[in-house]
A and B are shown apart, each in its own frame.
Chain A
């Protein structure tokens, strides 16, 4: 059961209720939202449900989350070690065993014009990471050439499966796909979402030739991998800062293929962001894949040839 890790992090009351869910419900579970004094909400296939003693129920009849539940969940999720998650907490989320991301809301403590920590945590959004094996099948032929892997950018709004797709691309490249490869893949997993490492060991299948730098900042990570692990491909999630682009340029000049993701609705949306626009204008990436949630996560809207006037390949 993929959600075993999450269930074990719940206090006994909520744990008992979650155990009433069947396998199909677990497979489609996308989010668990907890707010103190408010009904616990489960998001399954984009629909909201409540959670009662017998399992799924209406939101109105759902269990009301109390402060003790919240306190226990935070302790369990952090392993009674909030000190180990200081940096993540500052960014408003923590990543837990299995690569699930937990968004946090509460009172921000500000110091020197930056967020020091979050106290009085009142709401959590647990986003369940799903591993969808072979979801990149339709994309692989477009990003592979006989002797190389194209520099690829995956553009997608939140919750459309860009990390899931990236993970599967990594797995296929690493294991070899239909006569192409295999390639040595270096992954900089800044938020521990791609490989979902636990004590340094990937919990998700990222292939047999994949080296993961877990929890490492992207810029340093890319440079470290380049120097130390001689990868054929480097994969990173959610680029967007200027420093990321500089590091990517270094990777590119070393002849290593880059596969990355970025937040955005479509190519026009990306063009509105100066840094991304520069990347597109300079044809930094060779393939741009646009995702949506139209037919469920990982729906491929279009695949563009970025070095050929954004010609639509699919």
Chain B
């Protein structure tokens, strides 16, 4: 029985390390996907002068998972004309599908800044607004990736190590 308990503790601690690593890996992929989505949105607006609702819908068609849902929800809110506040609509779209992401609160805050100047003034303004967001996301992605490469093995081994320590202590 004791041996079984020790095994469970060891596996749980090891798993924790792997889950932390997996979550961070997912987060990086999601940031990459958001960058791609905003590049698509920028191209739609810059090249084809597509209105926001239509552009968001196109982006949702060309992306997957949670990002697809965020842009689809945003497009749907724009189409419904229930609110006149763009910030509210974008934040609602982000919040509704927040659970499907592995993003940190800082990432979500960064993403929510997109709506501040969205739809405001001319095409150049839209381009600059999206460029700014993409720049921030890329910066975050680069920093996080470096950090991830450094800590990936550490996270995994730390879990195993912690599991081993607790197991030894229990023995």
Binding site for B on A (CB under 8 A): 8-9, 11, 68, 71-72, 75-76, 78-84, 86, 117, 199
Contact = CB atoms under 8 A, between A and B. Distances in A.
B84 A81 contact: no
Contacts, number: 48
Residue among B45, B49, B120 with the highest chain A CB neighbour number at 10 A = B49
Contacts of B122: 82-83, 86, 117
B126 A71 contact: no
A238 B109 CA distance: 50
A82 B118 CA distance: 10
A86 B78 contact: no
Given A80-B51, A81-B119, A82-B122, 7 more contacts: A75-B86, A75-B119, A76-B84, A79-B52, A80-B119, A83-B125, A117-B122
What are the 3 A-B residue pairs with the smallest beta carbon separation, nearest first? Answer: A81-B51, A79-B51, A72-B84
22 contacts: A68-B84, A72-B84, A75-B84, A75-B86, A75-B119, A78-B51, A79-B78, A80-B51, A80-B52, A80-B53, A80-B86, A80-B118, A80-B119, A81-B52, A81-B119, A82-B119, A82-B122, A83-B119, A83-B121, A83-B122, A86-B123, A117-B122
B50 interface: yes
Given A80-B119, A83-B123, A8 B81 contact: yes
B84 A71 contact: yes
A9 B81 contact: yes
Residue among B50, B52, B53, B84 with the highest chain A CB neighbour number at 10 A = B84
Interface in B70-112: 78, 81, 84, 86
Nearest to B80: A8
A82 B126 CA distance: 10
Secondary structure class of chain A's binding surface, majority of residues: helix
B71 to A, nearest CB: 14
Interface of B: 45, 49-54, 78, 81, 84, 86, 118-123, 125-126
Contacts of A71: 84
Residue among A9, A76, A79 with the highest chain B CB neighbour number at 10 A = A79
A79 B122 CA distance: 14
B53 A79 contact: yes
A75 B84 CA distance: 7
Contacts of B120: 82
A79 B55 CA distance: 11
Contacts of A79: 51-54, 78
Nearest to A69: B84
B121 A82 contact: yes
Nearest to A71: B84
A255 B74 CA distance: 49
A117 B125 CA distance: 14
A81 B54 CA distance: 10
Contacts of B84: 11, 68, 71-72, 75-76
B154 to A, nearest CB: 46
A84 B81 contact: no
Contacts of B45: 83
B42 to A, nearest CB: 12
Nearest to B123: A83
Contacts of B81: 8-9, 76
A297 to B, nearest CB: 30
Contacts of B49: 83-84
B129 to A, nearest CB: 10
A11 B52 CA distance: 19
A233 to B, nearest CB: 29
Contact of A84 (B51, B86, B118, B125): B51
Contacts of A199: 54
Contacts of A68: 84
A86 B78 CA distance: 20
B85 to A, nearest CB: 9
Nearest to A116: B122
A11 B81 CA distance: 8
Nearest to A73: B84
Nearest to B127: A83
A83 B52 CA distance: 9
Contacts of A84: 49-51
A64 B52 CA distance: 30
